[in-house]
Amino acid sequence: MDYKERYLNWLENPSIDEATKEELRSIAGNETEIEERFFQDLEFGTAGLRGVIGAGTNRMNQYTVGKANQGLANYIIKKGKQDKGVAISFDSRHMSKEFTELSALILNANGIKTYVFETLHPTPMLSFAVRYYGCTAGIMITASHNPREYNGYKAYWSDGCQVSAPKDKEIIDEVNAVTDFNSIKKMDKAEAIKAGLYNIIPESFDDEYMKKVMEQSLNSDLVKSMAKDFTIVYTPLNGTGNIPVRRILSMVGFENVFVVPEQEMPDGDFTTVPYPNPEDPKAFEYAIKLAKEKNADIIVGTDPDADRMGPVVKNKDGSYSVISGNMAGALLADYVLSQRTEKGLMPKNPALIKTIVTSRMTNEIAKKYNTTVFDVLTGFKHIAGKIRQFDKTHDYNFVFGFEESFGYLSGDYVRDKDAVVATMLICELAALYKSRGLTLADGIEELYQKYGYFGDRVKSLTLTGLDGLEKIHKIMVELRKNQPKELGGIEIAAIGDYQTGDIMEIATGKVTKSDLPSSDVLQYTLADGSWICIRPSGTEPKIKIYTGTKADTMDAATALADKIEGGMLSIIDGIIG
């Protein structure tokens, strides 16, 4: 069935409601829009669903979300796990509340108990709820940091991690097997509540989560001693972080916390930013203005579902600088490892987990504190999966994990990145530096002095629509077919293709196998030790290019990264024109 047939089928299908059909009639004659909405089913991938809200098979709506839930329900029942229930949370995006209730009632109609947050709560709290209530699975309705037009559906399993192999593929198969919307069961809410299937998570649950976050604090006494002389500006970017972040900062002892008023309350339109993401410097325009008024020592922002945290540091001249996820992660890693070592809190066989595209400075930090580094694929579920492995083998103890895209976790009380604990820790670190008469900007220079100057960066090429998907696919195919010999004038020493698992040394032709799962990722190691990695984004219409260099000065490291990245961009331009 082609896209036009799918479109007409929805218009004629009696199971599609009239409001949806009216939306579809409004695009009649717009072939491009019809094709965008119907050229494929919105893919239930290894991270669940994510897409633009609207009518169509390639959109987030009650029918695509319903299909995902019926597929998940079928899988749970096949596994005989329906008695333990599913926890469900949501963020501030449009339709999040509606998709949450729909998800619960479909599961309830299949005899599966649900534990539902009545108000919006962050992703890490959903992960915590899954384990706290002993659930079989969890659902988070969020599109994370995507633009306002999006929403999404993330699935978790009983360990509090996003669903991983082989369960992810098995659930995908069950979702794809739901081909008739009439097969999606649904229950009346009042009946579900009366039957004990639809359960509201009480406010007391938040207390249990906060206790676990507070256990990760490393300098509460110092914070309290400086409370009146330390100022924080915080922005939840109109998402879920406002209440839990302010609460944990108060618990740890901070008193002067100012929230950006325009970005304080939940708002699915995200009217002050085009892209509600702490990775984007534009997200901090309002926060920086407020910070200058309050003479703030640090600015912190969290994304809509409060799993990503981005800090802005204060410079000696009173200006503010947005720093990268790699730099924030290096600061936090050094803080957690150094303070745990100094205070005698480091466990035996400590482990730090990072992704293959995360700064190599992390390796130098870990070496200093006798901590083993484990590299995993991009996506925090791979970090969580490694923590789960440690639970079984007991050979290492997880201390800290992060990915360059502003995702951090200290402690294993949740199994996903947590902006609440990351905010607490980065503010503690800023207070620690201020107690020494320094700023976090000084702290960054201290890291460079200790570990070297690392020119880490990530560049995203946005390629939207059907044409964009084809270009992204073409880039990866052509790079594999015609492997580059050099980048920026520097010879390539090794190529890692994580789709096949082959890592080849160019000089010898020797091939070793990666122990990581198959993924559409290419990584090039250059003769001087620099590296560059390219992969399609799993959540956005982008291809991402990561570059890492090291030199004696920041200017030299940056210039080297410019050359290598420029070489890759020239190749890509030649592929897609």
3-state SS, 289-326, equals HHHHHHCCCEEEEECCCCCEEEEEEECCCCCEEECCHH
Q: Of the candidates 396, 426, 451, which is a domain's last residue?
A: 451
**Total count of domains within the chain:** 3
pLDDT value, residue 372 = 98
Q: Is residue 559 part of a domain?
A: yes
Higher pLDDT, 275 or 132: 132
Name the residue with higher pLDDT: 168 or 492: 492
pLDDT single digits (tens) 87-138: 999 999 999 999 999 999 999 999 999 999 999 999 999 999 999 999 999 9
Q: Looking at the structure, do residues 484 and 537 belong to the same domain, yes or no?
A: yes
Is 250 a catalytic site residue? no
Calculate the CA dihedral of residues 228, 300, 549, 532 and round it to 10 degrees.
Answer: 160
Q: In this structure, are 470 and 440 located in the same domain? A: no
Q: Does residue 170 surpass a pLDDT of 90?
A: yes
In order of 44, 91, 248, 464, 473, the CA distances from 537 in angstroms are: 15, 22, 32, 12, 11
Q: What is the pLDDT of residues 6-44, one digit of tens each?
A: 999 999 999 999 999 999 999 999 999 999 999 989 887
pLDDT (tens digit per residue) in 340-352: 999 999 999 999 9
User: Which CATH number is 515's domain given?
Assistant: 3.30.310.50
- Give pLDDT tens digits for 127-163: 999 999 999 999 999 999 889 999 999 999 999 999 9
**Confidence band, pLDDT 50/70/90 cuts, at residue 46:** low
Active-site pick, 96, 103, 127, 144: 144
Reading the block at residue 267, the tokens are 């708002």
Verify that 436 and 539 share a domain, yes or no: no
Tokens 């509201």 sit at which residue? 200
State the residue for tokens 């492995």: 389
What pLDDT is recorded for position 43?
82
- Under a CB-based contact definition with an 8 Å cutoff, are residues 116 and 199 in contact? yes
Residue 1 inside a domain? The answer is no
Residue 264 lies in a domain: yes
- The answer to whether residues 285 and 300 belong to one domain is yes
Single out the residue of 313, 15, 39, 44 nearest to residue 183, CA to CA: 15
> Which residue in 100, 98, 101, 95 sits closest to 148, CA to CA?
95
Q: What is the rounded distance in angstroms from the CA atom of residue 564 to the CA atom of residue 31?
A: 41
Structure tokens at 510: 């020797």
End position of a domain, from candidates 203, 232, 249: 203
The answer as to whether 208 is a domain residue is no
pLDDT at 466: 81
pLDDT at 577: 81
What pLDDT, on a 0 to 100 scale, did the predictor assign at position 165? 83
Comparing CA positions, the residue from 356, 406, 389, 411 lying closest to residue 521 is 356
SS3 state of residue 278: coil
Instruction: For residues 375 and 403, state if they share a domain.
Output: yes
**What percent helix, strand, coil does the chain show, rounded to 5?**
40, 20, 35
- Residue 148 within a domain: yes
Beta strand 502-505 pairing with 490-497: antiparallel
Is the domain of 402 the same as that of 472? no
Which domain, by its residues, includes 412?
221-451
Q: Where are the alpha helices (DSSP H) in 133-188?
A: 167-176
449 CB contacts (<8 Å, ≥6 apart)?
A: none
- Give the Cα separation of 249 and 247 in Å (integer): 5
**Are 247 and 292 within one domain?**
yes
- Residue 33 within a domain: no
Question: Do residue 259 and residue 186 come from a single domain?
Answer: no
Question: At residue 544, does pLDDT exceed 90?
Answer: yes
Highest mean pLDDT of the ranges 417-431, 451-465, 531-545:
417-431
> If you average pLDDT over residues 434-462, what whole number do you get?
96
Mean pLDDT of 546-558: 97
Q: What is the CATH number of the domain that holds 67?
A: 3.40.120.10
Angle at 162 between CA 245 and CA 325, to 5 degrees: 50
Nearest to 63 by CA among 125, 19, 110: 19
Let me know if residue 90 belongs to a domain. yes
Q: pLDDT tens, 224-244?
A: 999 999 999 999 999 999 999
Per-residue pLDDT band for 464 (boundaries 50, 70, 90) equals confident
Per-residue pLDDT of 48-77, as tens digits, reads 899 999 999 999 999 999 999 999 999 999
Nearby residues of 81 by Cβ (< 8 Å), 6 or more positions away: 136, 137, 158
Q: What is the pLDDT of residue 1?
A: 79
Mean model confidence pLDDT for the chain: 96
pLDDT at 483: 92
Predicted pLDDT of residue 465:
82
CB atoms within 10 A of CB 558: 15
> How much is the pTM?
0.95
